Amino acid sequence: MKKIVLFSILFASISCFSQTKKDSIYSKKLNAYREISLSIPSSFGKDAKKTYPVLVVLDGDYLFDPINGALTYGAYWDDLPEMIIVGINQSETRFEDCSFDDQTALPEDNSAMFFEFIGAELLPYIEKKYPVSPFKMIAGHDVTANFLNYFLYKDAPIFNAYISLSPELAPGMDVNIPSRFGNITKPIFYYHCTADGDVKKIKEESKNLDDNLKNIQNPNIKYTFEEFKNASHYSLVLHAIPNAFYFFFNKYQPISTIEFQEKIVTLPSGYVDYLTTKYAEIDQIMGNKNTIRYSDFKAIEAAILKNKAYSEFEKLADLAKKMYPKSMLAEYHMGMMYENTGENKKAAKAYQNAFQLNEIGNLTKDMMLKKAEQFRTK
């Protein structure tokens, strides 16, 4: 009996998290098989319409696990989106994968083919097997962090976000990347870091690159740089990974107490507009439509009540009907509007209507029935 209970608990825990597995893909460009590690969201297959961002992890043999751990934790709390993570094993090939010509500082021979492998073979392979969204990211450390910058040299970069962890930069990269940033015409996120205990040459070049990048005036570029204290070339990775993803997806997160207090409740009006704008920005970043969280509806409800902007409940109800058409949320919001404007009969009718629909969050049929009876007798 104890074994059965233990197995049930273990299964329940595993089912909440992503599934990881190994795979191998033959590359015509490299004329070789390349091993990859995959992390597939636990929700995969449950919603035919759901798509996922893709993250390509260079140095996957040692970066895959810490990155997967951070993203799994963030997704568990809905702070970060679920995504498909693809780690490329480079334990024996990283230097030839990432080499560059001494004269041009561009990928040469095998590294040029590795560059083509990622864009022309690996990503199409993932896109064929899994439902992916247009938002794609790439991460690397030292020589692979330098390598990922070459994707920015293309007129239409295939990645939307870049994580450059203590990059060992090729000659001229500190000038070429800022030059490219000035011409980027679509939104690009770029996270770049070093540490006080980093390799001296890498730290100096990273700070020089930052000096050049932070002066670029291009609204399409979302850039940040960090220099970690009391960290080394290797330990900075564990500091940087969560920071990078929270930088990319800061708008994705549910409405927090701070956001509510500082950005929402202080508004004179337009609380529902704030919510729709927030999710329009999330949709733009993710490249797909996202359902507005129930908790965010409740946050806007609280702002409306606090500021006595009761007329906004009707607009909130219209939005709720679109997001959760079979739930009682929309009728509940209409009931709240009538309740707070003294229209008791209409409030009772709205709550009665809500009673006949599906429960959602902390809204129950018992609650709706009690409210309907309360305002019917007033």
Flag whether pLDDT at 347 surpasses 50: yes
Pick the CATH number of 257-376 from 1.25.40.10, 1.20.1250.20, 1.10.10.60, 1.10.3720.10: 1.25.40.10
Instruction: Write the pLDDT tens digit of every residue in 98-140.
Output: 999 999 999 999 999 999 999 999 999 999 999 999 999 999 9
Q: Span 16-21, mean pLDDT?
A: 77
The C-alpha angle with vertex 108 and arms to 223 and 138, in degrees rounded to 5, equals 30
Question: Do residues 132 and 50 lie in contact, with contact meaning Cβ atoms separated by under 8 Å?
Answer: no
Query: The tokens 């700070």 sit on which residue?
Result: 207
Q: Residue 15: which pLDDT band, with cuts at 50, 70 and 90?
A: very low
d(CA 81, CA 18): 12
Q: Residue 283: which pLDDT band, with cuts at 50, 70 and 90?
A: very high
Tell which residue, 133, 137, 166, 172, has the closest CA to residue 151.
137
**What pLDDT, on a 0 to 100 scale, did the predictor assign at position 4?**
32
Q: Residue 284: which pLDDT band, with cuts at 50, 70 and 90?
A: confident
Question: Do residues 21 and 40 lie in contact, with contact meaning Cβ atoms separated by under 8 Å?
Answer: yes
C-alpha torsion sign, points 111, 113, 116, 118: negative
Instruction: Give percent above pLDDT 90 in the chain.
Output: 88
**What pLDDT, on a 0 to 100 scale, did the predictor assign at position 202?**
97
21: enclosing H helix or E strand? strand 19-27
Predicted TM-score of the model (pTM): 0.88
C-alpha torsion sign, points 101, 107, 113, 114: positive
Per the DSSP assignment, residues forming a β-bridge with 223 are 190
Flag whether pLDDT at 10 surpasses 50: no
d(CA 89, CA 33): 11
d(CA 205, CA 169): 7
Instruction: Write the pLDDT tens digit of every residue in 219-255.
Output: 999 999 999 999 999 999 999 999 999 999 999 999 9
Instruction: Write the pLDDT tens digit of every residue in 24-50.
Output: 999 999 999 999 999 999 999 888 888
Tell which residue, 208, 112, 221, has the closest CA to residue 162.
221
Fold designation for 15-248: Rossmann fold (3.40.50)
Report DSSP letters for 200-257, one per residue: HHHHHHHHHHHHHHTT---TTEEEEEEEEEEEETTTHHHHHHHHHHHHHTTTTSPPPH
**What pLDDT, on a 0 to 100 scale, did the predictor assign at position 2?**
36
Flag whether pLDDT at 186 surpasses 50: yes
Query: The tokens 């247009």 sit on which residue?
Result: 134
Q: Residue 377: which pLDDT band, with cuts at 50, 70 and 90?
A: confident
Pairing of strands 32-40, 19-27: antiparallel
d(CA 17, CA 37): 16
User: How many other C-beta atoms are found inside a 10 Å radius of the C-beta of residue 139?
Assistant: 30
Flag whether pLDDT at 376 surpasses 70: yes
Pairing of strands 52-57, 132-141: parallel
| Residue-range domain boundaries for the chain | 15-248, 257-376
| DSSP classification of residue 182 | T
Instruction: Write the pLDDT tens digit of every residue in 150-180.
Output: 999 998 999 999 999 999 999 999 999 999 9
User: What 3-state class would DSSP assign to 316?
Assistant: helix
Q: Is 3 exposed, middle or buried (0-12, 13-18, 19+ CB in 10 A)?
A: exposed
